[in-house]
Amino acid sequence: MKIKYQLFLFLLFVISCTSTAYAKLHIVATTPDLGAIAREIGKDKVEVTSIAKPTEDPHFVDAKPSFIVKLNKADMLIDGGLHLEIGWLPNLVTGARNQKILPGNSGYLVASAGIPVLETPTSLDRAMGDVHPLGNPHFMLDPSNGKIVATQICNRLCQNDAANCDYYKDNLKDFVTRLDQKLSAWQKMTEPFRGTKIVTYHKTFPYFAKRFNLNVVETLEPKPGIPPSPAHINHIIPMMKNEGVKLILIEQFRERKIPEFVAAQTGAKVVILPIMVGGLKETDDYLTFFDYTINQIVSALNAKS
Amino acid sequence: MKLFSCVLLVCIFFVESSVSFVYSEIIPTADKDSQPTDAVEGTEEGAKEIRINKDEFEEIVEQLQGMKELLLNMKQDYENRLKEMQEKIAALEKERTQTTDIVSQPASTTEAPIAGIEDIPMKKEEYDTVVEKLQKMESDYDSRLKEIQETYDSRLEEMQQKVAVAPQPASPETGTWSPEQPITLLSMGKSYMNISFNGLFAAAGSTAEDLETLETGGHDPNQRGFTVQNLETTFEGAVDPYFKGQANIIFQIDKDGESFLEVEEAFLTSMSLPLNLQVKAGTFFTEFGRLNPFHPHAWDFADQPLVNGRFLGPDGLRNPGVRLSWLAPTSNYTELFFTVQDSQGETAHSFRNEEALFGRDAVETRVRAMEDMLYTPRITTSFEVTDETTVLLGASAAFGPNSTGRDKDTLIYGLDMFWKWKSSYASGGFPFVTWQTEVMGRRFEAGEDVNAGLSDEVMHNWGTYSQIAWGFKKRWVAGLRGDYVDGEEEAVDPLGFERWRVSPNLTFYPSEFSKIRLQYNYDDILGSDSTEHSVFLQFEFLLGSHGAHKF
> Residues B332-353: what's their mean pLDDT?
93
What contacts B4, CB < 8 A, 6 or more positions away? B134, B138
> Residues B287-308: what's their mean pLDDT?
94
Pair (A102, A58) in one structural domain: yes
Neighbours of B230 (CB within 10 A): 22
Pair (A143, A248) in one structural domain: no
For residues A229-251, one letter each, b for 16 or more C-beta atoms within 10 angstroms of the residue's C-beta and e for the rest, the string is: eeebeeebbeebeeeebbbbbbb
Q: What is the pLDDT of residues A239-268, one digit of tens each?
A: 999 998 999 999 999 999 999 999 999 999
Pair (B447, B304) in one structural domain: yes
Q: What is the pLDDT of residues A265-293, one digit of tens each?
A: 999 999 999 999 999 888 899 999 999 99
**pLDDT score of A11:** 58
Say how far apart CA A41 and CA A157 lie, in whole Å.
9
Q: What is the pLDDT of residues A111-133, one digit of tens each?
A: 998 888 888 888 888 888 888 88
**B228 lies in some domain:** no
**pLDDT score of B206:** 93
Pair (A129, A39) in one structural domain: yes
**pLDDT score of B325:** 95
- Cα A84 to chain center, whole Å? 10
Say if A181 is an interface residue toward chain B (CB within 8 Å). no
Q: Sheet of A25-29: strands edge to edge?
A: A46-50, A25-29, A76-79, A108-110
**A96 lies in some domain:** yes
What contacts B287, CB < 8 A, 6 or more positions away? B293, B323, B325, B337, B339, B376, B378, B396
**A7 lies in some domain:** no
Q: State in Å, rounded, how far the first CA of chain A is from the last one.
A: 84
Q: State in Å, rounded, how far the first CA of chain B is from the last one.
A: 77
Pair (B280, B135) in one structural domain: no
Which residue is closest to A279 within chain B, CA to CA?
B425
Pair (A235, A154) in one structural domain: no
Residue ending a domain, choose from A152, A184, A216: A184
Range of the domain at A42: 23-184
**pLDDT score of B153:** 62
Say how far apart CA B146 and CA B139 lie, in whole Å.
10
Pair (A63, A207) in one structural domain: no
pLDDT of B105 above 80: no
| Position with higher pLDDT, B343 vs B105 | B343
Residue ending a domain, choose from A159, A184, A209: A184
CATH at residue B537: 2.40.160
Pair (B149, B274) in one structural domain: no
Sign for the pseudo-dihedral over CA of B150, B151, B155, B161: positive
CA distances from B60 to B65, B162, B215, B526 (A): 8, 10, 64, 76
For residues B234-252, one letter each, b for 16 or more C-beta atoms within 10 angstroms of the residue's C-beta and e for the rest, the string is: bbbebeeeebbbbbbbbeb
Say if A137 is an interface residue toward chain B (CB within 8 Å). no
**pLDDT score of B146:** 76
**A2 lies in some domain:** no
pLDDT of B174 above 50: no
Q: What is the pLDDT of residues B249-268, one digit of tens each?
A: 999 888 888 888 999 999 99
Pair (A101, A250) in one structural domain: no
Say how far apart CA B485 and CA B439 lie, in whole Å.
10
Interface with chain B: mutation pick from A67, A101, A132, A151, highest number of B CBs within 10 Å: A151
What contacts B142, CB < 8 A, 6 or more positions away? B11
Which residue is closest to B275 within chain A, CA to CA?
A97
Which residues in chain A belong to E strands, given as ranges?
25-29, 46-50, 76-79, 108-110, 197-200, 215-219, 247-251, 269-273
**B550 lies in some domain:** no
Q: Report the interhelical angle of A286-304 vs A143-160 (nearest 10°).
A: 180
Q: What is the pLDDT of residues B134-166, one digit of tens each?
A: 788 777 777 777 777 777 666 655 555 454 444
Residue ending a domain, choose from B141, B165, B189: B165
CATH at residue A81: 3.40.50.1980
Range of the domain at B161: 2-165
**B360 lies in some domain:** yes
Say if B375 is an interface residue toward chain A (CB within 8 Å). no
Pair (B144, B281) in one structural domain: no
Say if B179 is an interface residue toward chain A (CB within 8 Å). no
Q: What is the pLDDT of residues A72-124, one digit of tens each?
A: 999 999 999 888 998 899 999 999 999 999 988 999 999 998 888 888 888 88
Sign for the pseudo-dihedral over CA of B525, B530, B533, B536: negative
**A298 lies in some domain:** yes
Round the average pLDDT of chain B to a whole number and report it.
Answer: 80
**pLDDT score of A6:** 67
**A151 lies in some domain:** yes
**pLDDT score of A8:** 62
Say if B162 is an interface residue toward chain A (CB within 8 Å). no
Provide ipTM, 2 decimals.
0.85
Say if A160 is an interface residue toward chain B (CB within 8 Å). no
Looking at CA atoms only, how far is residue A304 from chain B in angstroms? 29
The number of domains in chain A is 2
Percent of chain B with pLDDT over 70: 75
**Between residues 200 and 259 of chain A, which touch chain B (CB distance below 8 Å)?**
225-227, 251-255
**Cross-chain CB nearest to A66 (options B39, B382, B475):** B382
**B194 lies in some domain:** no
**A3 lies in some domain:** no
**Between residues 313 and 332 of chain B, which touch chain A (CB distance below 8 Å)?**
327, 329-332
The number of domains in chain B is 2
Say how far apart CA B39 and CA A96 lie, in whole Å.
33
Say if B551 is an interface residue toward chain A (CB within 8 Å). yes
Pair (A167, A29) in one structural domain: yes
Residue ending a domain, choose from A184, A203, A230: A184
Pair (A32, A111) in one structural domain: yes
**pLDDT score of A40:** 93
Say how far apart CA B367 and CA B400 lie, in whole Å.
11
**pLDDT score of B108:** 42
| Position with higher pLDDT, A131 vs A197 | A197
| Position with higher pLDDT, A305 vs A252 | A252
**pLDDT score of B155:** 66
B510 contacts A223 by C-beta, under 8 angstroms = no
Query: Between the CA atoms of B233, B239, B242 and B245, what dihedral angle is there, to the nearest 10 degrees?
Result: -10
**A6 lies in some domain:** no
Band of residue B449 on the pLDDT scale cut at 50, 70, 90: confident
B338 contacts B305 by C-beta, under 8 angstroms = no
Cβ-Cβ pairs closer than 8 A, A with B, add up to 208
Of the listed ranges A20-34, A177-191, B179-193, the least confidently predicted one is: B179-193
pLDDT of B8 above 60: no
Pair (A130, A261) in one structural domain: no
Pair (A44, A157) in one structural domain: yes
B192 contacts B239 by C-beta, under 8 angstroms = no
pLDDT of B18 above 80: no
Band of residue B172 on the pLDDT scale cut at 50, 70, 90: very low
Pair (A177, A203) in one structural domain: no
Residue ending a domain, choose from B149, B165, B181: B165
Pair (B161, B289) in one structural domain: no
Residue ending a domain, choose from B134, B165, B196: B165
**pLDDT score of B118:** 45
Q: What is the pLDDT of residues B409-431, one digit of tens each?
A: 999 999 999 999 999 999 888 99
Instruction: Check A81 against B170: CB less than 8 A apart.
Output: yes
